[in-house]
Amino acid sequence: MLSTENPEPTGEIATDVAPPGPRPIPAVRLWALTLGTSLAAGLLAWGIGEKNLTYFVPPTVKVTAMGATFDMVTRENQAAVDRKNAMLAFGVLGGLLGLALGLAGGLSRGSVASGATAGLVGSAVGVAAGAAGSWALLGIYFHQELNSFEEFSRDLLLPTLIRGGISAIIGSAAGLALGLGAGADRRQILSGVLGGLIGGLIGATLYEIAGAWLFPTADSNRPIPGAWPPRLLAMLLPAALIGACAAFTLLAPGRRGRERPTAAEPTAA
């Protein structure tokens, strides 16, 4: 007589499957692309800046002295124009660095579309961050310069803080673009933002120290230095450190190489 009951199972299959995690980010490719594109962005920003050093020109006022009338630029007008030209330079750097790291993140995982999308987002955020951040912080710089010129010309701390703040804001936007392009999860993206911020601070500090030592007569502590070598260094150092630190934090231990969990194999009864 045949039994109508279901036969006993001969094995057990695990049904509890952990939720899928983020795809691992290819470390070597990300490092290479991030560092390469960061340096390229810094170099391109310097080149554009060299072509637009005096994009904004200060107005002149008529001054009469000893019976002669001539045109003169006031210190206030010059400071206002210097602030605008510096805002333009930092906005360009922020836009190019955001574009570069967004592309680097997407290309590191073989996705041109993701890289292009993240690059466009990073470029927009970077331009806004660089322009707005520099406009706000440089207001402090030029206020101090106009009110205490002799003491301020020998000051290294405030220019370092101002440049560091601007670079940190730009670095945060670039780190965001890198994380978006790499397809990182929320925690990794926040780590990339923090890494970019730290990289901006370190890069700006190293520049101010190196600039004061290597170019003591080139006004290297000004937002736009007075000669092309320190201007080049002012773009390359923060850009390189932003890219390096953003990539490092994105690939920090505990996140690198994280793989999706798989279902358990059937076990014998």
In degrees and rounded to multiples of 5, residue 116 shows phi and psi of -65, -45
192, part of any domain: yes
H/E element, 135 = helix 112-147
Task: Give the whole-angstrom CA distance, residue 133 versus residue 128.
Answer: 8
Is residue 167 predicted with pLDDT exceeding 50? yes
Q: Which two tokens stand for residue 179?
A: 């994380």
210, part of any domain: yes
Q: What is the mean pLDDT of the chain?
A: 85
Classify residue 95 by its DSSP letter: H
53, part of any domain: yes
User: 14 or 122: whose pLDDT is higher?
Assistant: 122
User: Tell me, what's the pLDDT at 15?
Assistant: 47
15, part of any domain: no
266, part of any domain: no
Largest CA distance in the chain: 130
Each residue's pLDDT tens digit, 178-233: 999 999 889 999 999 999 999 999 999 999 999 999 998 999 999 999 999 999 99
Is residue 14 predicted with pLDDT exceeding 60? no
Label residue 257 left, alpha or beta by phi (over 0 means left) and psi (-120 to 50 means alpha). Answer: left
Confidence of residue 161 (pLDDT cuts 50, 70, 90): very high
Q: Which two tokens stand for residue 32?
A: 């290479």
For a pLDDT cut of 90, what percent of the chain falls above it? 64
User: Tell me, what's the pLDDT at 51?
Assistant: 95
14, part of any domain: no
Amino acid residing at 215: F
Which residue segment(s) compose the domain that 191 sits in? 22-253
Each residue's pLDDT tens digit, 42-66: 999 999 999 999 999 988 887 776 7
The tally of domains found in the chain comes to 1
Confidence of residue 12 (pLDDT cuts 50, 70, 90): low
Q: Which two tokens stand for residue 129?
A: 């961050």
16, part of any domain: no
User: 7 or 57: whose pLDDT is higher?
Assistant: 57
Task: Give the whole-angstrom CA distance, residue 156 versus residue 112.
Answer: 43
Amino acid residing at 195: G
Mean pLDDT within 236-248: 96
User: 69 or 32: whose pLDDT is higher?
Assistant: 32
User: Tell me, what's the pLDDT at 154?
Assistant: 67
User: Tell me, what's the pLDDT at 2?
Assistant: 43
Task: Give the whole-angstrom CA distance, residue 232 versus residue 236.
Answer: 6
